Amino acid sequence: MHSRAGCGRSVGCLVVLVAALLVVGSAPGAGASTGTSHATRTSQIASPKPLPTTYAPARLILTDTYDATDPYMLTVGNRNYLYTSEGATYLNVPLWIGTKSDHWGPLIDAMPTLPAWAEGGLTWAPDVQKVAGGWALYFTALLSGVTPKTHCIGSAFARSAAGPFVATAHPFICQLAHRGSIDARVFVEADGQLVMLWKSEDNANPNVPGPDQGGATGIYAQSLSANGRVLLGAPVKILSPSEPWESTIVEAPDMIEAKGTYWLFFSGNWFNTANYGIGVAHCQGPFGPCTDSRPAPFLGSNFQGLGPGEESLYEDGSAVYLLYNPFRDTDPAPVIPRPVAMVRLGFTSFGPYLATP
């Protein structure tokens, strides 16, 4: 997700619904496939039928008026936990808890208190991971008192997935030479090793070209300690914009290993345009290199909404799903809120595809 200076606490996005063709991945083959998500690394999943392009690509699991962007969901016991960006909730990390993916209890704040380094009003892109000793929350926030505006990734910890998470005193990832860092996401290898993924914010200040391809962003990977508190080794850039549809932006990374192959899901282009979309890159491993050879997004503008993006992966033990926001944003306000959509995925050796529910 991009910096939203000028959007502030707006309640969503202006949506223009138009008919368009649904862009999907490679056609699936026969046979079973093994899928993983960073919530649970190993499980056996079936190969579902592909989704006909005449169907709506996803069902909405949250349609409140809060502008619930950057959705991330996990399951603990018999409860689903859905975290989103701040939006119009006036909560730092909005959290919905429910026993079904479209029936939610009262909204709570998973991190009631921001750290001193973070400026309130613009907290987004939460990621929650079980770590040694409890639970870790990673979030994006604006650095307080810094010009030009710079966003960095913070870390917070709790005993429960519901929090309350307590943030550490300093930013966790902050590439100042790249205008900051956003969109943290943890990938768990088959042996349990944690890998942190994130996006550099080189596009945040377009009038000040950055050192990375004149303002082009990058997606990075770095090993993470078992307790989620320490980055190990050096960061590695695993993906840069390479296709025209991406413009100069790749962001919102999430990785999965399926059939022995690593696939990196990401969003590309500017979030407030109809060109925004969800891409998939083939990776040699968690630390790349990753290559996107598609001339179009894996999921682009369609009859459910323009500019889908800000995606994450979710696994329920038997199937893998893609969560995302299907409606594009417009900046500045007034805007209409974006819901949370969920679509099932299938995998072949050629890559993922959108599947029937």
pLDDT digits over 105-154, tens only?
999 999 999 999 999 888 999 999 999 999 999 999 999 998 888 999 99
The winner for highest mean pLDDT among 279-283, 290-294, 316-320, 345-349 is 279-283
Mean pLDDT score, 40-57? 67
Q: Which one, of 189, 257, 174, lies nearest residue 220 by Cα? A: 174
What lies within 8 Å, CB to CB, of 106 at 6+ separation is: none
* Band of pLDDT at residue 317, cut at 50, 70 and 90: confident
Q: DSSP assignment, residue 102?
A: T
How far is the C-alpha of 62 from the C-alpha of 80, rounded, in Å? 13
Mean pLDDT score, 68-80? 95
Q: Tell me the whole-structure pTM to 2 decimals.
A: 0.86
How far is the C-alpha of 136 from the C-alpha of 167, rounded, in Å? 10
CA-based max dimension of the chain: 56
Q: How confident is the model over 210-240, as pLDDT tens digits? A: 444 458 999 999 999 999 999 999 999 999 9
In CATH, the number for domain 33-354 is 2.115.10.20
Cβ(122)–Cβ(43) below 8 Å? no
Predicted local distance difference test score (pLDDT) of residue 111: 98
The least confident of 18-27, 241-250, 325-334 is 18-27
16 has a pLDDT exceeding 50:
no
